[in-house]
Structure 1
Amino acid sequence: MNDSKSLEDRLRDIEDRLAIYNLLASHPLSADTGEPDFIESIYTETVVFDRGAGLSDAHGRDEMVDLVESAAHHTAIAGGLAHFGNLPLVELHGDTAVATSYIALITPDGKGQERELANHGTSTGFRIHRLVANRWSLVREDGRWSIAARTVLPMDGSGPALEMVRQAATYYADR
């Protein structure tokens, strides 16, 4: 902690961090419902969404809305798609911030063996379809945090995802 910051500055950092946590916590809900108003409320007009090799990107809020309103995305939602994220590491820089997190894409396992869990019924279970590292670029506009860019890379041991996570791992090196 930087003890030279005023109490007001430290309080603003806390409020910013909480606002960013809430914003990023809303992402799975927006993705898993495909609600366009939700998407429009959390992304900047010029957002850039880089989903890595083999998947379509989005440039601008309208393309983000198109992505979640697509028939393919709604097929995934109907199949039980659930984005499950962790608490991100947030680096504040005034009116901008960078956050790094993981998201697991989880779906029901229709081919799994049915099992019973006491007091919770039966299930064939779930499977992790993909685990991705996320690098979120955030900006405060009109007093409100929004997602300006997001890079998503599969955690498959390849260089790009590992390098992105390494960038976040240096967070405490300069403290």
Structure 2
Amino acid sequence: MTGESAEQRLDRLERRVRELADLLEIQQLLAAYGPLVDAGDATAVAELWSPDGSYLVEGWAMHGRAELAAMVNSAAHQSLITAGSAHFLGPARIRVDGDEAEAVCESLLIRHRDRGWVVARASANHFRLARGDGRWQITARSTRALDGDPAGRELLGRAAGPAG
């Protein structure tokens, strides 16, 4: 016997189920990015973010859903996906704290070339997320190339510590 009452055990189990549900929802949210951005679905990509969310990637700053959608619809992105590409986000290390969370993962941009598939970029990613409108949304994403620059390694270092 643990000394817990049935009500205490139920409360503990409900908290744990909520924690696991949050982790799964966040994992699914992050996993949706690659397929949606490679499909060119600008609206769905933008909806992954909160209305005022931001995305900072290699010197390019996007703020708000309209700018995120514009990136997906841009000639540069459209030429990338029509030539063949895959944005792959690896498994994320996720920490949830109430209605806020952060996640860290690595990602690859794989491009189709005449000689086959090549890794065009390997990156470190840090996400801040918040529960809003009844679902998890990205409030900020920072991406740095893993090209030896310390900034990329610093983002990966945020994965240290307990998850969940």
Q: Distance in 1 between matches of 2:40 and 2:145?
A: 22
Q: Distance in 1 between matches of 2:46 and 2:157?
A: 31
Residue 157 of structure 1: how far off its partner (Å): 1.6
1:26 to 16, 19, 32: 32
Tell me what 1:143 maps to: 134
Q: Distance in 2 between matches of 1:40 and 1:108?
A: 25
With normalisation by structure 1, the TM-score equals: 0.83
Tell me what 1:119 maps to: none
Q: How large is the RMSD of aligned CA atoms in angstroms?
A: 1.8
With normalisation by structure 2, the TM-score equals: 0.88
1:64 to 53, 68, 75: 68
Tell me what 1:36 maps to: 42
1:132 to 123, 126, 134: 123
**What is the 5 A alignment of 1:1-175?**
6-53=12-59, 56-110=60-114, 112=115, 125-169=116-160, 171-172=161-162
Q: Distance in 2 between matches of 1:163 and 1:18?
A: 25
Q: Distance in 2 between matches of 1:37 and 1:165?
A: 29
Structure 2's unaligned 5+ residue stretches are: 1-8
What letter is aligned with 2:118? R
Q: Distance in 1 between matches of 2:88 and 2:58?
A: 19
For the 8 Å contact 2:47–2:65, the answer to whether it is kept is no
What letter is aligned with 2:155? M
What letter is aligned with 1:15? A
Q: Distance in 2 between matches of 1:30 and 1:147?
A: 15
SS of the equivalent of 1:6 reads helix
Q: Which runs of 4+ in 1 moved over 3 A?
A: none
Residue 36 of structure 1: how far off its partner (Å): 2.3
What letter is aligned with 1:37? T
Residue 43 of structure 1: how far off its partner (Å): 1.1
> Which has a greater percent of helix?
2
Residue 37 of structure 1: how far off its partner (Å): 2.3
SS of the equivalent of 1:17 reads helix
Residue 41 of structure 1: how far off its partner (Å): 2.3
* Count of aligned pairs: 155
